[in-house]
Each structure stands twice: as C-alpha cells, then as structure tokens.
Structure 1
Amino acid sequence: MRRWIAVAAACASVLIAAAAGAQSNYLGTWSQGPQLPQLRSEDSVAAVGNTIYVIGGYAPAGPHPTALDSTGAVDVDEPLVQAFDVGQGRWSDRAPLPRGLNHVGVAELGGKIYAFGGFTGQNRDPVTDANVYDPAADAWAALPPLPNALGSIAVAALDGKLHLVGGRDVHSVATHLIFDPVTKRYTSAAPLPVGRDHMGLVAFGDKLYAIAGRIDDFNHNTSYVDVYDPKANRWTAGAPMPSQRSGMGVAVYRNRILAIGGERAGGTFTNNEGYDPRTNSWTAFTALPEGRHGTGAVVVGDRLYLPAGAPVNGGSRQTDTLFVFVQPS
C-alpha cells in the first residue's frame, strides 16, 4: 500500500512538472541574438521581409567623438541605420537618415519604410521631417513635411495608407493624420480620445489599436486601449492594459498585440502583456530578462525581436542587445 502511494505521488509530481513546463512554454521564452554593432536607444524599428532596421536614436558619444553637438552632449542623435538579416544572423550599416533624430515614427508599407517627425533634443525640439527608405536602392527620399512639428508619433499602415497618431510638440497631442503614399498628401481623421505620446499603434484585421502611452511625461503613464474603425472614422475603448506604461515595443504576434517593456518614473518595465482583440482581454506572458524602453518590436517569421533600447528610464544609457521572443503556435 505504501509503495502504491509512493508511486502515485511520484506520477503526480511528474504530471505537475509536465503541466508547469507546458504552461511555461506556452507563455514564451526569451533568448538573445547577435549584438548590435552600436549601442542604441530611443531608436525606431521596422522590418521589411526578413530584415530588421534600427533607425536613428541616441548613441554614446564615445565611439563617435566627432558627432558631439555644440553643447558637448554626452549622448547624440545618430542618423545611423543598421539592418539585421535574420536568415544570415548578421548586422550591416545602411544609408543613414538625412539627419540625426530620436523618437522617429516609422512603419513599413509596400516594401518601404516611412519615417515621420522626431526630436533633435530629449523629448523636445520636434521636427516636420518626413522621409521614405527604399531597401532595394539603399536610399532615403524626402516626402512632404508634416503639417506641424511632432516627435514620438505612433505610425501604422492600414489599407494602403499610413496613420500618424498622437505624438508631442510641447505637450502630448491627439492629432490623427492619414498619409497617402500615392498622392503624397496628408488628411485629418478622428483624433485620439486622449492625446498622448510614446504610444504603441498597430493594425489588426481592419482596425487600428492605440496602446497605452503617456500624457506629457512618464509620471503620467496610461493604460488606455483605443480602437479605430476607419469605416466609421471613430475611436472606441478596449479593455485597458493591466499596467500603465509608455515607451514600449508593440507588435502583433500569434494573433495578439504584445506590449513589451516601457519606462516609468524611477525605472523601466520587464512586462510582456498581450491583448487579444477577439476577446478584448489581456494575458501576461514571460517577462523580459531585463527592463527596456526606447525601442520597437517587430515580428519576422515565428519570432519577435526587440533590439537595443535603454535599461534605465530617460536617455542616459543605451544597449546593444537583441532580445528574441518565441511562443509555440
């Protein structure tokens, strides 16, 4: 009898361990890919095919002393564009932005990368710059400038057009512009219910989802989820994110919108929370190994990539890590 109980207990332990392992696997795992050639933060990220592009942002002055600005700033705005070929596992330099900027709003559409706005200072001195990058030609071309100077705009492509939402001039704005890459014209659409910047914006199905962000600074992070219906030209509220965050990497992965990392007063987040638009609900997935903010997330194949970013709040430090997240289908 005692032997039977011991065997049963052992079997139960195995089943519990297996279940825990399956649950852990379902929640996803993080690993690291090849390091970036340059420390970066407040950069922007987009993918074209199997190549990930890290655009602009801050870099330490040390490796590039000639890039110091007239004030002798420790961190400088780099025009640097670096590309990671996922298949080859290799980084390379590409044509730089026309000038160094941080907090540029970027999105891929039709095999090209569109870049709007940005700052020349730390969350200040926004610009009207608009450019498009052609990977085949490895060249940037100027687009009509933004109607107003903005940085930290959230940008996403939907139905052949680019939506530019939120951002910051001196304060957070609720602006919603639609850019047509064929006519090269901007039109206005329904503004955000609450203006904010450092926000995520993605297309899922036939709608846009604006995720979290902040009002003016990281002392006023939000958990808002706003859903835009282009047919009705109207925003509605989704289930709020469990945490209040800004400066996250946001991407659609495995039919969920993942919001990863971010910053707050006093630190950064490791949170990895996924929103399912089909059920209007959130799930917590495996957290980042280390807090990050000031970068973007992209999906290539069956993996999500989070390159560079800052491990502390603000712009004082950069990293060269490439975090890779995978979850079973």
Structure 2
Amino acid sequence: MARPALSRLVLLGSLLATVPATLPAAAHEVGAWAGASSAPAERSEVAVAALDGKAYVIGDYNGATELLIYDLATDRWSKGAPFPYPVHHTMAAEQGGRIYKFGGYVNGWEATDKVWAYDPKANAWEARTPMPTPRAAGGAAPLSDKIHVVGGSGSGRGNVRSHEVYDPANDRWSTAANLPTPRDHLAVQTVEGRIVASGGRIDGDSSKNLAANQVYDPARDAWSEAAPLPTARSGVASAVLGREVFVIGGESNRRTYDEVEAFDLPGNLWRALARLPTARHGFGAVTYKGRIFTLTGSPRPGGDRSGTVEVLDPNGAAPAR
C-alpha cells in the first residue's frame, strides 16, 4: 500500500463545511522518529498522562498494577505506588497537579465507574466520586479547570455516547452534550479551547473502525462534524502540539497501523507525517518540548505488549540526548 505523504494541505470551506478535507499527494513525509529507553515492564491497553515533565503509564491488559513513570527530560524510568487493582482500557488526564484515572475494565470485561487521583508528591492514590456512567476505552481530556470524559464502552463492550464532566476541585460530576457517533478506542484531545474526538470502533469490534472526527464547543455545548480521519482506525495514541491533534498508530482486526496523521482544527484539515517505526495499538502519547513521546503498546492486533518508546520530532530533527 502506497504511503500517503504530503507537505501542505489547502482546505476550501469552514469547519462546518459539508465537503470534508482530503489528503492530496505530495513530495515527502514530514518529521523524524528516534528511539528512547524502553519501559521497565511491557504493557498494553494503558492510559498515559503527563505532569511536570513526567509521563505516567497506568493499567495493563495483562494485569500489572505498578505505576510506570518516565522522565521526559532525562529518558529515565522509575516506579510509583501501584494502582489499587488490575485495570485495562482505562482513561487518564492531568488537572491541578494530580493525575486522574477514570473507569476501565476490571474482572475481565466489566466496565467500572471508579475514579482515582494520584498525587505525585505523596506518591499515593485516593478514591474520588465515581462516574455517572461506567465505561472503558473512552477518552479523557482536560478543558479549563475540569476534565471531560467522552464515549467508550460498557460491560459487554456496547458503546456509550455519554459525555460527562468532572470538577476535581469540588469532586463533582455534570453532563454535557452526548457524543454524536458512539464509539470506543478513540482519540480525545483538547485543542484551541475545544475537544476533538477522532477515530474509534463500534462496540469494541476492530473490524468496524471509524473515520469519524467530531468537535465539541463548550460555549455552545454542541458537537459539529469535521474533516474525517484519513485512515479509519482504533486503539490509537494521540497528543496535541500547537493547534494540531496527532493521531498515531492503532489497529484493525487484521493488522496494527503505523500511520501518523495530524488534524489542524482551525483549518479543518489533515496532514500525514513520518510513519511510526513500530506499528502498535493500546499505547499512549504525550508532548514535551515540541516532541511527541509514544509509550508501550502492542505490536500485534489483540493482547500482545511491549516496552517500546519512540519519539517524533514533527520538524524533522532527531531528538537530542
């Protein structure tokens, strides 16, 4: 399959235009990848969040509970207080100096509503008010002083469209406009004061991947359609740099993906970048000093795992060490 490559895209129309942006051919792929120190334990189906120059890897498909901590500046790993119980397909986000973990699957494929906060200074987990809707494999994204939890699936892997908003300061939940296209294993990120929900799958079935790309405007409490994800996939990692959401890797029922595609929200357009060296899914990504760090994940569809760490410089220079 030919690699889609492009240097620039031009979009005619606005974010609400009915004709989606497409990916024209161009001369070369953009960006450069480099390896980094592998995690001390192999993981997949994790949640990853960053705080104060460190990335926190939570959960594991195979039941590991140790909290893995990666120092983004020094390329060194350490371990924190173990999570209280095995969980996979969980969601995490940073807010107010803590890492918050939402839901996930426990006891096999039972969706939980449990919420926990990790305090790095105390190296301790604390239970918080549960989510209104138990779910796993959704997305969590901070917006202003709150965290939005979007989509996912319940026990039995049927999709939920719920969009719920957590207030960490008051430990309270509220509801917001439902996700228009219910799905799980999607990318959910905050950019330019809005939330972008990209890709995913129907009812946990990776043979039913979606290209859906929808944008939530908190001022209107409403979602709108945006240019679809060029490569329909699920189980991706995602991160934000500037005004772009990067959607990385993923899987179908047949293969893992190495595609890296970035969505420019104000322009409502996508561009392709240099491919992920190790195609994988069930992993996470964070940004640090203009680079994107991808951590752990499965190189094969299903329940494999790895300790792989690979770093993308979208401007094309390999990370200095």
TM-score range, shorter chain: 0.7 to 0.9
Distance 2:42 2:82 in 1: 16
Distance 1:194 1:153 in 2: 12
Deviations 1:27-85 (A, max 9, x none): 11111100110011111111102111111113xxxxxxxxxxxxxxxxx3222211111
- 2:160 is aligned, of 153, 167, 173, to 173
Quote how far apart the aligned CAs of 1:262 are.
0.3
- 1:49 is aligned, of 45, 49, 52, to 52
Number of matched pairs: 287
| Counterpart position of 1:64 | none
1:93 aligns with 2:96: no
1:138 aligns with 2:138: no
Does the 8 Å contact 1:116/1:153 carry over to 2? no
| Counterpart position of 2:235 | 247
Identical-residue share of aligned pairs (%): 36
Distance 2:63 2:89 in 1: 10
Does the 8 Å contact 1:179/1:187 carry over to 2? yes
Distance 2:290 2:173 in 1: 34
164-173 or 144-153, which deviates more? 144-153
Distance 1:42 1:328 in 2: 29
> AA paired with 2:200?
G
Does the 8 Å contact 1:49/1:300 carry over to 2? no
Quote how far apart the aligned CAs of 1:255 are.
2.7
Distance 1:127 1:238 in 2: 31
Distance 1:304 1:239 in 2: 23
CA, structure 1 residues 121+274, in 2 after alignment: closer, same or farther (shift >3 Å)?
Answer: farther
| Counterpart position of 2:139 | 154
- 1:191 is aligned, of 178, 193, 196, to 178
1:309 aligns with 2:297: yes
User: Which residues of 2 match residues 215-234 of structure 1 at below 5 A?
Assistant: 215-216=202-203, 217-234=205-222
Distance 1:132 1:179 in 2: 12
Name the SS of the counterpart of 1:196 in structure 2.
coil
Does the 8 Å contact 1:80/1:100 carry over to 2? no
For structure 2, the 5+ residue unaligned runs are 1-26, 317-321
> AA paired with 1:190?
A
Quote how far apart the aligned CAs of 1:301 are.
1.2
- 2:36 is aligned, of 33, 54, 62, to 33
1:289 aligns with 2:292: no
Does the 8 Å contact 1:177/1:186 carry over to 2? yes
Quote how far apart the aligned CAs of 1:135 are.
1.0
| Counterpart position of 2:198 | 211
- The two structures have a TM-score, normalised by structure 1, of 0.85
Distance 1:232 1:35 in 2: 43
| Counterpart position of 2:310 | 323
Deviations 1:244-298 (A, max 9, x none): 1111001112431110000101111000001001110010100111211001111
Structure number with the bigger relative contact order (C-alpha 8 A, sep ≥ 6) is 2
Quote how far apart the aligned CAs of 1:210 are.
0.6
CA, structure 1 residues 254+111, in 2 after alignment: closer, same or farther (shift >3 Å)?
Answer: same
> AA paired with 1:160?
D
Does the 8 Å contact 1:265/1:313 carry over to 2? yes
> AA paired with 2:48?
V
Does the 8 Å contact 2:133/2:162 carry over to 1? no
Name the larger-Rg structure. Answer: 1
Quote how far apart the aligned CAs of 1:194 are.
1.2
Distance 1:321 1:156 in 2: 24
Q: CA RMSD, aligned part only?
A: 1.4
Name the SS of the counterpart of 2:202 in structure 1.
coil
> AA paired with 2:101?
A
> AA paired with 2:243?
N
| Counterpart position of 1:258 | 246
Quote how far apart the aligned CAs of 1:88 are.
2.2
Does the 8 Å contact 1:198/1:248 carry over to 2? yes
Q: Which runs of 4+ in 1 moved over 2 A?
A: none
Distance 1:323 1:87 in 2: 14
Name the SS of the counterpart of 1:218 in structure 2.
strand
Distance 1:323 1:223 in 2: 25
Deviations 1:87-144 (A, max 9, x none): 222100101111110011101112211100000256x211121001111111111001
For structure 1, the 5+ residue unaligned runs are 1-22, 59-75
- The two structures have a TM-score, normalised by structure 2, of 0.87
